[in-house]
Amino acid sequence: MSREKQVAIFGSGTGSNAHAILRAAREGRLGGQVAVVVTDVPGAGILDFAKEFGVPAVTIDPGKRGGGRLADETLEEMESLMLRFSVDLVVLAGFMRIVRDPFLSAFEGRILNIHPSLLPKYPGLHTVRRAMEAGETETGCTIHLVDAGVDTGQILRQERVPILEGDTERAVYARIQEAEHRAYPEVISERLENL
Ligand code: GRF
């Protein structure tokens, strides 16, 4: 029998996507298991979900480079963590740092990200507000491969949600998150199958 595929989830915040992925793994819908949860934010909500699901969690020190950039030593630490946990696929879920070489090349084609807009529209921050201010009638989320740019890699899946008359930013974002929680485990499972 072949070895079960191993996923690492990286996040800096609440971890609602991590929760959806952990649930999918527990219910046998992920096509693999979550080996480790990694955060750069001590005490981040995502750590609670790791605990709830009995998955090892590691808090990394991003270093002092600023602007979302990770220190060289942190990238090295991340790579050796992935080796230690035999990770096949790296899943970014609200990880507020820019992943770069040598980590990027070591995991080329095996790092996914989820972004709350229909890329290439609205990369970066405050995506929902910017979409609403521009008068868009729909937005959504994008799951893509990570490359050296910010929110620029090959798009694997997009889910669209409407922006309705009288909507608040919070309401639209909640609609996007619902779509994220549905789509991310599915795309991870497809990707694992093709590794
Ligand atoms: C998600 O909306 C994702 O699109 C963005 O960061 C958010 C993370 O949310 N990259 P959560 O921590 O998974 O709740």
Domain boundaries, the chain: 6-193
Closest CA to 49 of 57, 58, 40: 57
Name the residue of 37, 159, 180 whose CB sits within 8 Å of the most ligand 1 atoms, as the mutation to test its pocket: 180
| Residue 140 in contact with ligand 1 by CB distance below 6 A | no
Q: pTM surpassing 0.95? A: yes
Q: How far is the CA of 103 from the centre of ligand 1 (A)?
A: 22
Look at ligand 1, atom 12, and give the residue with the nearest C-alpha.
15
Q: What pLDDT score was predicted for residue 1? A: 58
How far apart are the C-alpha atoms of 150 and 29, rounded to whole Å?
Answer: 29
Residues 6+ apart with CB under 8 A from 32: 4, 5, 6, 7, 25, 88, 89, 188, 189, 192
pLDDT value for 62 = 85
Ligand 1 contacts CB of residue 39 (under 6 A): no
Sheet (strand 155-162) strand order: 57-59, 33-39, 6-10, 89-92, 111-115, 138-145, 155-162
- Residue 114: CB within 6 Å of ligand 1? yes
Query: Could you list the active site residues?
Result: 115
Per-residue pLDDT for the chain (195 aa), expressed as one digit of tens each?
579 999 999 999 999 999 999 999 999 999 999 999 999 999 999 999 999 999 999 999 988 887 788 999 999 999 999 999 999 999 999 999 999 999 999 999 999 999 999 999 999 999 999 999 999 999 999 999 999 999 999 999 999 999 999 999 999 999 999 999 999 999 999 999 999
- Per residue in 8-27, is it b (16+ CB within 10 Å) or e — as a string? bbbbbbbbbbbbbbbebbee
Instruction: State the pLDDT at residue 58.
Output: 98
Mark 131-158 as b/e (b = at least 16 C-beta within 10 Å).
Answer: bbeeebeebbbbbbbbbeeebebeebbb
Quote the distance between the C-alpha of residue 167 and its chain's center. Answer: 26
17 CA closest ligand 1 atom index = 13
Say if ligand 1 is within 6 A of residue 13 CB: yes
Per-residue pLDDT at 69: 87
Per-residue pLDDT, 145? 98
Compute the distance from residue 180 Cα to the ligand 1 centre, in Å.
8
* CATH classification for the domain delimited by 6-193, as one of 3.40.50.300, 3.40.50.170, 2.40.50.140, 3.20.20.70: 3.40.50.170
